[in-house]
Each structure stands twice: as C-alpha cells, then as structure tokens.
A = this chain, B = another copy of it.
Amino acid sequence: MKLYEFMAKEILERHGIRIPPGQVVDTPEEAASVASRLGPVVLKAQVLAGGRGKAGGVVFATSPAEARRRAERMLGSRIQGYPVERILVEKRLDIEQELYVGIVVDGSARRPVLLASARGGVDVEEVPDAELIRRKIDVRWGLMPYRAREVALRLGLPRQLVPAFADIACRMYGAFRQYDAELVECNPLAVTPDGLVAADARLNVDDEALFRQKQLPRVHDDTPLERKVKELGLSYVQLDGDIAVMANGAGITMATIDVLQKFGGRPANFLDVGGGAAAEPMAKAMAVLLEARPRALLINIFGGITRCDDVARAVLEVRGSRPFDLPVVVRLVGTNEDEGMRLLREAGIEAYRSMEEAAAAVVRLARGEA
C-alpha cells in the first residue's frame, strides 16, 4: 500500500524528521489561503503516480492569486490516469542541493538496504550505479548512526550536516520497521540554509502486514474491479484482451497468459486464485471476471493445496446461480483431479488435462471458431 506524499510526511515528521511547512487542500480557495500564510509556495498534486513533476503535478506560485489559479487548473485534472483530488501546498524551500535517501528491502541480499545519493530529485533508477551508495542493514541491530555517518561522508556532505543526515536516516529506518514498510524514501532530501528538510517523501507499506498496522490510513491504488477481487483475497490485474483467465499461482497464471499470447489469444486479465483458494471466493472471483464481458474463460488449475473438486464445484456453483452462455474451458490436474474432471464433464463443461490443448481450445472459442 502506497501512502500519499502528505501522509508519508506526516509520519516522518512524527518521527522527528523536518518537513516543509504546508497543508493539504482540496479547493483553490484553501490553496490561496495557505499561500497567503506561507508566502511563495509549491503546489504538489497528491497522486500515487511516479514522475509527477514532469506531468505538471508540481508547480510554483508566488502569490495567493497565483496559487488559486494553479490549484484550480490542477484539481480535477488527471496525472497518469490518477485524478487529482488533493494538493499539498508547501512553503517553497531554498534548496542548495538535492539528496536521495531511501530504505528498501533487497530481496536478493535478504535484508533492508540504505540507499543514498548526492544526486537526488530525479528518479533514483536514473542515478548511475557508481553514484548510488548501498549499505545492507542487519535487522537484528538496525541502522546505527556510525553507518549513516559513513554514508553521509561518502556523499561528500559538508561536515556540519553529517550528524543531521545520520539522524534522519536512522529515524527513517525506525519508521521503516515500525510501519512494516517496503520502502521509505526522501527524494529529495533538501539541503537548505536551515539544514536538511524532507522535500518529498514516500512510504510504501507491505500489504501483508496491514493487519497489524491499524493506525495507518488506508489508501487504495487499483481499479474498482481489482479492488473487488482483492477483497476476496485474490491477486488481480486488468489487461485489455478478451479471454478471461483464472489460474492458481502467480507463476502458472503468468505462464498461461504467455501461452495464450503465443497461441494468438488476447488475455483479458491476470487472476491468481492462489494456493489455498476455497470454493466460495473462487466462485465470487469468477462472477467478477464475467462482469468484464470477456468472449471466453480459461480456468487453468494444477492442484497443489488447491483441490480440483473444489474448483469444479465453484465453476458449477457460479453457472448454477448466474447462468452464462460464454464458452468456458477448464484445465484440471492434481489433487482430487479425477473427481473434479468427473463433476465438470457430468455438467457438460469442456475439460482438459493438458495445458496446451486447453489453451488452443479457448483461443479457438474466443475467435468464435467453436
């Protein structure tokens, strides 16, 4: 779960990191009023998209009138598809240098890493490797000040800023652990005449840990359909084809999509019903898939934890409660496979043991070649 900039900043401020004076607004009038209080300001669209600056989501205003005009134009516009509903209006900083500092999980090192660069303000992916410092963090001890100081020195920061940088990095790590973050980032961490200020901030929280992060706000970053399926505990991404796909496991779902493409089909979605999917949520997920009006449906189940008979019953249940005339192809192998196949065939549904045959069949059906 990504938090909006203003939320991330609020949290970092509570952890003792300095942020610019500012306020979130959702009307041009408020923007003007904040600007009249703060002087020259920056208006930042609160959207979850990256590269917001290039898309016009970050603009300056020197007067309340200008702030109002800018806000008017920004509110209701879209940035990379995201509607701008809120603007963070902040006092414009006098920035001498922009640093990057982030804490993120490195899956290959199996550890959190501190990332830092003297070239902040841009997408960190664009910073050349040689200018990005990485330091692995031992979760048993956390990020210690000496390590952060060493990084600050290597960034070439002026000596008097080294303790402040170390302090910020350690506090960021504190927030990273406390909020089950995947990522905490200040980009840029601005060097100003008054010291270091988090001019922009991100905090992405591990979805799997939300159950114990009750104090955090909830932010949704998906289409209504995606949300609906996610609420069923499944993993869903919308695509633009016409063959609805449902499979069990991220790997086999991706492979199914790859195979369909290879066979000339156009998948309508990525839907992983997961290893432990029970009949009821699967039935609901199928119902959701059908809402998008695909031309055919492929269910590809290689049973592990998932039992094939559950899958078969789910298919029958959906058809029973909400009859559909769309062609359905089921591929079924694994635990309780015989029982699953029997149930489907008895109900007259096309079922295969081979993925190749099933994929070929559904592509044919979607083309109306029946």
**Does A141 touch B at the CB level, under 8 Å?**
yes
Residues of B within 8 A of A141 (CB): 140
Alpha-carbon gap, A141 to B142, bound state (A): 12
The distance from the CB of A143 to the nearest CB of chain B, in whole angstroms, is 15
Alpha-carbon gap, A141 to B139, bound state (A): 10
Q: Which bracket fits the contact residues of A?
A: under 10
The distance from the CB of A186 to the nearest CB of chain B, in whole angstroms, is 24
A interface secondary structure, majority: loop
> Nearest B residue to A141 by beta-carbon distance?
B140
Alpha-carbon gap, A58 to B141, bound state (A): 43
Q: Which of A304-335 contact B (CB under 8 A)?
A: none
> Nearest B residue to A138 by beta-carbon distance?
B140
The distance from the CB of A310 to the nearest CB of chain B, in whole angstroms, is 31
> Nearest B residue to A140 by beta-carbon distance?
B140
Alpha-carbon gap, A140 to B140, bound state (A): 5
Residues of B within 8 A of A140 (CB): 140-141
Q: Mark A134-171, 1 if CB is under 8 A from B, else 0.
A: 00000011000000000000000000000000000000
> Nearest B residue to A139 by beta-carbon distance?
B140
Alpha-carbon gap, A140 to B141, bound state (A): 7
Alpha-carbon gap, A3 to B140, bound state (A): 30
Alpha-carbon gap, A323 to B141, bound state (A): 55
Alpha-carbon gap, A29 to B338, bound state (A): 79
The distance from the CB of A273 to the nearest CB of chain B, in whole angstroms, is 31
Q: Mark A204-246, 1 if CB is under 8 A from B, else 0.
A: 0000000000000000000000000000000000000000000
Q: Which of A252-296 contact B (CB under 8 A)?
A: none
Q: Which of A89-104 contact B (CB under 8 A)?
A: none
The distance from the CB of A212 to the nearest CB of chain B, in whole angstroms, is 13
The distance from the CB of A171 to the nearest CB of chain B, in whole angstroms, is 14
The distance from the CB of A144 to the nearest CB of chain B, in whole angstroms, is 14
Alpha-carbon gap, A127 to B141, bound state (A): 36
Alpha-carbon gap, A141 to B140, bound state (A): 7
The distance from the CB of A145 to the nearest CB of chain B, in whole angstroms, is 14
Q: Mark A186-202, 1 if CB is under 8 A from B, else 0.
A: 00000000000000000
Q: Which of A64-92 contact B (CB under 8 A)?
A: none
Alpha-carbon gap, A141 to B141, bound state (A): 10
Between A and B, 2 residue pairs with Cβ closer than 8 Å are: A140-B140, A140-B141
Chain A residues in the interface with B (C-beta under 8 A): 140-141
Closest 2 pairs between A and B when the two form their complex, measured CB to CB: A140-B140, A140-B141
